Structure 1
Amino acid sequence: MVETALRSEVAVAVLRLLMAYQRQLPSGDTCRELPCAACDEPHLRKITAAMATGREIQLVLPAFPAKSPNRAKTISHLPDMAERVALEFLQSLCDRIERLYPPGARFVICSDGRVFGDLIGVPDEAVTAYRRELVAMIDQIGAERLDVFDLDDVHLGVDDHAAMREHLVTHYAQSLESVRAEVKAGDKALSIYRGMTRFLFEDQLGPGYEGSRAAALREARRRAYGVIQRSRAWGSLLAERFPDAVRLSIHPQPCGADKLGILLMETADGWLTPWHGVAVVTDGRTELVKRSDAERLGATLVRRGGRPSHYVLSRLTG
């Protein structure tokens, strides 16, 4: 009984550590009080189950797909300091969990660039290069508790990426018609659709775009349905592959969701991610912003290893 009570206490401490970085919706379906029992339940149950058998706590995070193709937001197609800071943060979370629970925790970064790269304007070659450099970065910083899993790992030995996506949709996706019906009904699906449309619209309006804004918006709206469809299919596949894992998300989540929204690094924009922005260092403080905003503020580009890495901003300049 004492052991069970202690395990429960440690499980709550681990969850509180994760919840300290919870990414919540700015308004609407939010928690009435903190800590929130409805938000705790799905995650606490899985943490406690792992502890009961002495296993590592598995944390599944769909993230790090590929860099946005809009160079007004990013500086290249490869991971840079923005990804590095986020990866170091995830490893630091595992380090702190290990101090609470010696078997520790492990993040499975489920890179989803291959899932919908064709819909977001990122070629498969760029997705491959991004993953290769991401894995190299994880090794370089010594992040031993971080793994990368993507659609290639589901289809080992297969080189036909279009066939991989087709298999995912055929076996795990709901129909586009049902996605459209959900969005039309409003509520959470409409909010997700609007957020996805915004991302796709912004990504299309890069420095080389020559069409009209109206045409870009129409195309973003059309593709948003497909991205939502495939993202959900990827989530279903991951639930099947990692049934005992705590499910995390880089997007804000409503109260009581089966996924826990988590911040990866400091940013004023609750929807911005390391692969949609750049890192700006100001007096030792690192923040995530869009490249155009960094340059508008007069920040200086820093290169590492012959590649663009991040920006540095002097307060006198800003």
Structure 2
Amino acid sequence: MPSTTTPDALTVATGTAIVNLLLPHHRTAGPGHAAAEAFPHQLRRITDFVREGAPVVFTLPAFPCKSPNPAKVLGHLPDMGERLSLTFLDALCRDVERIHPPGARMVICSDGHVFGDLIGVTDGHIDAYADELRLLISRLGLTRLSVFDLRDVLGHLPPQERRAHVDEHHTPTLEALRAEIGADGHALALYRGITRFLVEDTADHPGTRSALQRACRRRAYGVIRRSRAWGDLVADHHPHSVRLSIHPQPVGAPKFGIRLLEAPDAWTTPWHSAALRRTDGTWTLLPSATGEQQGRLIHHEGRPSHFEQVLGA
């Protein structure tokens, strides 16, 4: 008997299978797990790519630069945390090929230049970090990944003028953001999470803890405004992409929060931490100061790379 499955039903089934590949890595602050059908934004966009017979395009604003706090990271360049994360993202795209032969590609939208002045990282360090990401992708043969940053949009301008352009043309108003944070629980959680990171990333603050927290609360608004602007710029350049995020996202949100590596909480990233290889061969992320207590430092190509756990440490 002829099959009763229509071509569009097969397309939807393929799109659902691709969403199911993402679900084990969903980064969310909410409870439990949800089915693919609970993610209509991602399902619709992925299904569109499948219907067209085109590679699925993911955009991930992430990998901005290393934290400026030496108690959290091993330096200002990518290390094992980034190597493992990039390899994972490429493997995720490769897995899509088993379901959808055209496969998938991931655009890493490195956003360090967007808010470097607000997080205390120099443009030189941001450039070096993004350039090393590109080199890593090439050296590791991660052909499904690419890097996109503010230099690709406004590279004809000096860094500070790029940020001024973003502020003038793309950022939401402070008043609108304050109102949203006051009314939306997810926006409030994001604001609090970024404020916490800004406090933790400040290594040498001359004033009181309360003064630091006030300053970081102000800067957190700026980081979120610029991040929103970057999201709009990414959407302009990649209008049909499936939008991913390294921040926790609720089920059904327009962005899909994705976890890159195992970490103690839903907010830890490779650029705010160091990687530790446990004695059983698994990896986790933790502050470099904690890594020094739990393991021995390993170098790769002459630079600090990660920690190897030591029994009894």
Calculate the TM-score normalised by the size of structure 2: 0.94
**Equivalent in the alignment of 1:174:** 172
* Cα offsets for 1:16-54 (capped at 9, x unmatched): 0011211111x4xx57x731533x211111111111111
Q: 1: CA distance between counterparts of 2:101 and 2:271?
A: 32
Measured after TM superposition, the shift of residue 104 of structure 1 is 0.4
> Is residue 216 of structure 2 the alignment partner of residue 225 of structure 1?
no
Q: 2: CA distance between counterparts of 1:12 and 1:226?
A: 37
Deviates most, 76-85 or 210-219: 210-219
> Is residue 198 of structure 2 the alignment partner of residue 191 of structure 1?
no
Selected match of 1:213 from 203, 209, 212: 209
> Is residue 300 of structure 2 the alignment partner of residue 304 of structure 1?
yes
Which amino acid is 2:283 matched to? T
**Equivalent in the alignment of 1:317:** 312
Could you tell me the percent identity over the aligned residues? Answer: 47
Which amino acid is 1:268 matched to? P
| Alignment RMSD | 1.5
Selected match of 1:24 from 7, 28, 50: 28
CA contact (8 A) 2:246 2:257 kept: yes
Which amino acid is 1:294 matched to? G
> Is residue 257 of structure 2 the alignment partner of residue 261 of structure 1?
yes
Q: 2: CA distance between counterparts of 1:136 and 1:237?
A: 24
1:13–1:159 Cα change, 3 Å: same
User: Pairwise mapping of residues 231-242 of structure 1 onto structure 2 (< 5 A)?
Assistant: 231-242=227-238
Q: 1: CA distance between counterparts of 2:283 and 2:128?
A: 25
Measured after TM superposition, the shift of residue 288 of structure 1 is 0.9
**Equivalent in the alignment of 1:11:** 15
Unaligned runs of 5+ in 2: none
User: Pairwise mapping of residues 37-186 of structure 1 onto structure 2 (< 5 A)?
Assistant: 37-38=37-38, 40-156=39-155, 158-185=156-183
Deviates most, 2-11 or 116-125: 2-11
Q: 1: CA distance between counterparts of 2:109 and 2:90?
A: 15
Which amino acid is 1:136 matched to? L
Unaligned runs of 5+ in 1: none
Where 2:230 maps in the other structure, the secondary structure is helix
> Is residue 273 of structure 2 the alignment partner of residue 277 of structure 1?
yes
**Equivalent in the alignment of 1:35:** 35
1:186–1:8 Cα change, 3 Å: closer
* Cα offsets for 1:127-170 (capped at 9, x unmatched): 000001111111111000001001110023x1411111111122
How many residues are matched? Answer: 308
Q: 2: CA distance between counterparts of 1:150 and 1:286?
A: 28
**Equivalent in the alignment of 1:200:** 198
Runs of 4 or more off by more than 4 Å in structure 1?
A: none
